[in-house]
Amino acid sequence: MRVLITGAAGMIGRKLTERIARDGGLGGRQVAELHLHDIVPPHAPDIPGATVSAMTGDLADENAADWLIAPRPDVIFHLAGVVSGEAEADFEKGYRVNLDGTRALFEAIRQAGEGYCPRVVFTSSIAVFGAPFPEIIPDEFHPTPLTSYGTQKLVGEALLADYSRRGFFDGVGIRLPTICVRPGKPNKAASSFFSGIIREPLAGLEAVLPVPRSVLHTHASPRSAVGFLVHAASLDGDSIGPRRNLTMPGVAVTVGEQIEALERVAGNNVVRLIREEPDETVWSIVRNWPTRFSAERARALGFVAEEKFDQIIRAHIEDEMA
């Protein structure tokens, strides 16, 4: 099996690469070639019996996608993109990376020749939904994004469904909830504080909370996000049906409940390191985000996530701090 990961240097890309290297395969099949691509050099692990290559470049550049598809990978994880806050702050960059890069990749697959139909797993986002929301958002809720990032992801979803319908590839779009707790330094995502108020205090550092504690949001751990990707790669296409984009399950909690979970796991001295400092720019984005989802289709297809936020915190401690 040949596998391509775009955005392989990102947090989820790195963890997916590690998972494939640890398993030596994907969905019970051995990986013979693993191709990793990003704008910065991704880490290429040693996998016994497999060829691993790391490539750098801009996916939206002319012929870049053609070069990546030339080995005709059997499974393509398309994770490359700029995050929500960056896409909102830099309109042109957001559309170039999140839309033009996606379209270039899909076109390269289509042009690769008759008989080539890989599985494409595309990471979308719950940002495709916009307010007003019902208390629980069903799978049938109409996506109406209120950010440029959400719009770019929604167009990618539509392209994925149409290219799959035409038989150019076998696509699965997974709408990720906010991934928490993200390891490393904060990124430019508007949702970065969700991880920051857990990650920094656990490391003995002060964290800033820019939104009210009443904010309700859905989360899944990086461990679950990788599980979503691996499961999506081996799903039977017929079982998914024509609606190719799935909202992933997660844990819906308020920010206040996040902090309560942190106190249960790590104690009050850790929680005291959180400082509340309202930020209108962040709040203007976050208040238009969806809250909780039924995710019935994804659950029926076998996607699983944590059930309590305490589990998400403990996963971070086990995976990043052990």
Q: Which of 95, 116, 149, 163 is catalytic?
A: 149
pLDDT of amino acid 261? 98
What is the C-alpha separation between 321 and 181, in angstroms, rounded?
12
pLDDT of amino acid 186? 80
What is the pTM for the complete model shown? Answer: 0.95
Task: Tell me the pLDDT of the chain (322 aa) as tens digits.
Answer: 999 999 999 999 999 999 999 999 998 999 999 999 999 999 999 999 999 999 999 999 999 999 999 999 999 999 999 988 899 899 999 999 999 999 999 999 999 988 999 999 999 999 999 989 999 999 999 999 999 999 999 999 999 999 999 999 999 999 999 999 999 888 777 789 999 999 999 999 999 999 999 999 999 999 999 999 999 999 999 999 999 999 999 999 999 999 999 999 999 999 999 999 999 988 888 887 889 999 999 999 999 999 999 999 999 999 999 7
| Pair 263, 271: CB distance under 8 Å | yes
What is the C-alpha separation between 47 and 20, in angstroms, rounded?
9
Spell out the domains of the chain, with CATH numbers in brackets.
Answer: 2-176+222-248+293-303 (3.40.50.720)
Query: At a CB cut-off of 8 Å and minimum separation 6, what does 158 contact?
Result: none
Whether 163 is catalytic: no
What is the C-alpha separation between 85 and 29, in angstroms, rounded?
38
Provide the b/e sequence for 2-35 (b: ≥16 CB within 10 Å): bbbbbbbbbbbbbbbbeebbeeebbeeeebebbb
What is the C-alpha separation between 235 and 241, in angstroms, rounded?
11
**By C-alpha distance, which of 216, 219, 102 is closest to 149?**
102
pLDDT of amino acid 96? 97
pLDDT of amino acid 285? 80
**By C-alpha distance, which of 238, 239, 249 is closest to 296?**
249
